[in-house]
Amino acid sequence: MQHTKSESDVTSIATSSPPRSPKRPVYYVQSPSRDSHDGDKSSTMQATPNFNSPMESPSHPSFGRHSRNSSASRFSGIFRSSSGRKNGGRKRNDKGWPECDVILEEGGYDEYEEEKKLTRRCQALMAFLGFVLLFTVFCLIIWGAGRNYKPVISVRSLTVNNFYIGSGADLTGVPTKMLNINGTLRINVYNPATFYGMHLSSPSVDLIYSEIVVATGKFHNYFQPRKSHKNVTVQIEGTKVPLYGAGSSLPSTEGPIQVPLALSFELVSKGEIVGKLVRTMHRRRVSCETIIDSASNKPIKFKKDACTYT
């Protein structure tokens, strides 16, 4: 049976139901995203619809369970993504961060520093030994090259200023013949070394008669540069030298006489190749035979074959 609505029923229904509100415009809300914690300032734009009635709004009690479920799922998704399933069994510290195992190094830094110092000492010692070895080899090479350079000696002349033989007695009163002589010896010394000089010296320069030293001269020490010549003068003198049995065959100097004498001396040369660390030393012995005429004051020239150089 179909019932027809009366005008009063229609009017009551119209007054009981609220009128629909006009449609409102849609507006947007900017909310921070999860990436903003990492320094990213990007944001998401979400559209918030305009609901016509409170019943359509998500905050209505009828939709409360749905909203709680959605928010719970949203937060659970965040924690699940950050921690995952593995974080469920880990312990957390006071700040909420999961604890992790710490890798312990074998030994401390002190052992490493000691090994480093030991390595540096070994390297320094090896460098020092290498330098000493190289320097020693260098000095040996220089020494081998420089030891062949010997001074070249040439006896030029001997000038006798005074020559006298007479009778006398020695300090003990034994009668014997006595000899007085003085003269000047001139020699030339050449240093053939190309890179170092020489210190030259001689113990003594002697005039010998029958194995008796009748006159002696002093050779003054001096330094001679490399590749240079030098003329050296030595004063020789002998006063009241007893001849004993060797002078028995000699006449007195009342008249001119000739006496055979031998000139002998040793020249010592010392070369400093590398300062005082590397030195060379050579000894050259010179021996010359000559005859002295008491009546002549002319210089006695020595030929090259008249002297022996050893």
Residue carrying the six token digits 């070994």: 122
Residue carrying the six token digits 């074959």: 305
Q: Which 3 state secondary structure label does DSSP give 76?
A: helix
Give the pairing type, strands 152-169 and 198-209: unpaired
pLDDT for 100 equals 66
Give the pairing type, strands 307-309 and 228-242: unpaired
Q: pLDDT tens digits, the chain, 310 residues: what are they? A: 444 444 444 444 444 444 554 555 555 555 554 444 444 444 444 444 554 554 554 544 444 444 444 444 444 444 444 444 444 556 666 766 766 665 555 555 566 677 777 788 888 889 999 999 988 888 778 777 767 788 999 999 999 999 988 888 888 888 988 999 999 999 999 999 888 899 999 999 999 998 999 999 998 899 999 999 999 999 999 999 998 888 777 776 566 788 999 999 999 999 888 777 778 889 999 999 999 988 888 999 998 888 999 8
Q: How far apart are CA 310 and CA 302, in angstroms?
A: 17
Q: What kind and span of H or E run contains 64?
A: helix 64-83
Burial of 156 (0-12, 13-18, 19+ CB in 10 A): middle
Whether the CB-CB separation of 282 and 144 falls below 8 Å is answered with: no
Nearest alpha-carbon partner for 143 in 277, 300, 287: 277
Q: Which 3 state secondary structure label does DSSP give 254?
A: coil
Q: How far apart are CA 101 and CA 98, in angstroms?
A: 10
Torsion angle of alpha carbons 79, 84, 86, 91, nearest 10°? -20
Burial of 198 (0-12, 13-18, 19+ CB in 10 A): buried
pLDDT for 3 equals 46
Q: How far apart are CA 190 and CA 195, in angstroms?
A: 14
Whether the CB-CB separation of 269 and 284 falls below 8 Å is answered with: yes
Question: 3-state secondary structure string, 43-56?
Answer: EEEEEECCCCCCCC
Whether the CB-CB separation of 178 and 166 falls below 8 Å is answered with: yes
Q: How far apart are CA 275 and CA 280, in angstroms?
A: 11
